[in-house]
């Protein structure tokens, strides 16, 4: 048994303590602790390692945009110890074989735990259910299923999926986008879309699917998760559903907490995302929803794309933005520094709740003796200017390039092993 000491850190910003870690577990919390090796926390904040319920790692099939290795490196640099890899790969993660491949790649690279998300329908085609049971009982132990990027728009198929996953305590994570209402849509529908001559993406296209699905979830008594909620109406529907006791959870992305549709005036495809950037009123509503718990979690929807898919005309550009390395900073700027929430709520929304929704063990746990040492050390007083070229991702489509954001991830530990030290990837060995 070997012990190292994470010295002088402040859990949730409180009083400074030392944390002793032995064989990947927290064994003591106090002051003046000693061990074989000491890592100086610099008096910085310490939180449970972050968990992302919505990440696109692109492998297999689009290794030009991202791989499990580069995506999990970006995750570690952002303070994440576990990410859920979405199913829209090539081949689609709709079988036990593909999800096990993604899972084993995560284990092999070791920068964070990679939990595959299984497709709801075969090939994301929305016609027949995928092998949900086989994926659930595979080595990957899939519990989250989503056709993200596409909506399960057929109500009968959605009902069957919700019924099916009850057998193994799974959850359907819905991409809420009514396809007929968004044909050719390019940006948020409103006065600005008319002014810019871009086909509008109405809020009701999101809200109608959420309203239908919460009623279906109530009817069959199953779990529903709403991906990347983005409008005031969506917040109100989820709030109403929770008041009825419906088992629904929801996420908001960092970019929907910070950015507005006014950025589309530049016609820069870096701001093209699905769902689209919304109005300032919608941004305010999702911030309020996150603060009062209507929105359960922050999820990055990290969506890497190669240069040729983003540096082109708006109409043909791909939807999506990077998010893993900047998520905690954006949440600090929009929610913590504004006084809307404290660091305990950040830990709930970015660690405990996503781990609970995804049914992943060992993550999102309290900072307590006997718990796995999945930790992120964060300096909220730092300032940094985002540089796209410095990203660990293979892609460069960050909407924050050139912006100054608060905070810096100083260190990340996965079961007591350093994946990031002094803000840089650590791969020279294992602290334990």
Residues annotated as catalytic (active site), given as ranges:
301
Give the C-alpha separation, 284 to 290, whole Å: 10
* Dihedral angle, C-alpha 372, 171, 353, 277, nearest 10 °: 130
Buried b (16+ CB within 10 A) or exposed e, 216-235: bbbebebbbbbbbbbbbbbb
The annotation places the binding site for Zn(2+) at 54, 56, 148, 175, 228, 301
Q: Which helix (H) or strand (E) holds 421?
A: strand 417-421
Length of the chain: 432
Contact indicator for 9, 44 with CB cutoff of 8 Å = yes
DSSP secondary structure string for all residues of 160-225 = HHHHHHGGGT-EEEE----GGGGTT--EE-SHHHHHHT--EE-HHHHHHHHHHHHHHHHHHT--EE
Strand, coil or helix: what is 47?
Answer: strand
Q: Alpha-carbon distance 176 to 149, whole Å?
A: 9
């Amino acid at each position: 048994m070997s012990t190292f000491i994470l010295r002088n850190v402040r859990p949730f910003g409180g009083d400074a303590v030392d944390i002793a870690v032995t064989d990947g577990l927290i064994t003591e919390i106090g002051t003046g602790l000693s061990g074989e090796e000491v890592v100086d926390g610099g008096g910085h904040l310490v939180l449970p390692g972050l968990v992302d319920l919505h990440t696109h790692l692109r492998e297999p099939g689009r290794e030009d945009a991202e791989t499990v290795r580069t995506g999990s490196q970006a995750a570690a640099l952002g303070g994440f110890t576990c990410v859920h890899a979405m199913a829209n790969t090539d081949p689609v993660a709709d079988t036990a074989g593909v999800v096990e491949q993604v899972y084993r790649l995560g284990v092999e690279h070791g920068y964070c735990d990679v939990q595959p998300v299984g497709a709801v329908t075969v090939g994301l085609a929305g016609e027949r259910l995928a092998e949900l049971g086989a994926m659930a009982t595979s080595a990957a132990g899939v519990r989250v299923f989503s056709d993200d990027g596409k909506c399960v728009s057929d109500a009968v198929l959605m009902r069957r999926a919700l019924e099916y996953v009850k057998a193994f305590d799974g959850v359907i994570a819905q991409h809420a986008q009514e396809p007929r209402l968004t044909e050719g849509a390019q940006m948020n529908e409103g006065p600005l879309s008319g002014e810019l001559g871009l086909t509008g993406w109405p809020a009701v296209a999101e809200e109608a699917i959420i309203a239908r699905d919460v009623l279906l979830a109530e009817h069959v008594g199953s779990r529903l998760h709403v991906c990347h909620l983005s409008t005031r109406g969506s917040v109100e529907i989820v709030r109403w559903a929770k008041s009825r006791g419906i088992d629904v959870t929801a996420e908001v992305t960092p970019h929907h907490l910070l950015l507005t549709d006014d950025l589309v005036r530049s016609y820069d495809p870096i701001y093209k995302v699905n769902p689209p950037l919304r109005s300032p009123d919608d941004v305010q509503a999702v911030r309020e929803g996150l603060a009062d718990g209507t929105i359960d979690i922050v999820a990055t929807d990290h969506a890497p794309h190669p240069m040729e898919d983003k540096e082109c005309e708006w109409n043909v550009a791909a939807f999506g933005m990077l998010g893993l390395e900047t998520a905690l900073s954006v949440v600090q700027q929009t929610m913590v520094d504004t006084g809307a929430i404290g660091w305990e709520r950040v830990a709930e929304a970015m660690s405990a709740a996503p781990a609970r929704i995804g049914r992943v063990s060992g993550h999102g746990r309290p900072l307590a003796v006997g718990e796995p040492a999945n930790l992120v050390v964060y300096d909220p007083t730092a300032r940094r200017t985002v540089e796209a070229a410095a990203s660990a991702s293979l892609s460069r489509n960050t909407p924050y390039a050139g912006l100054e954001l608060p905070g810096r991830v100083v260190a990340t530990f996965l079961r007591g092993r350093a994946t990031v030290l002094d803000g840089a990837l650590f791969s020279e060995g294992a602290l334990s």
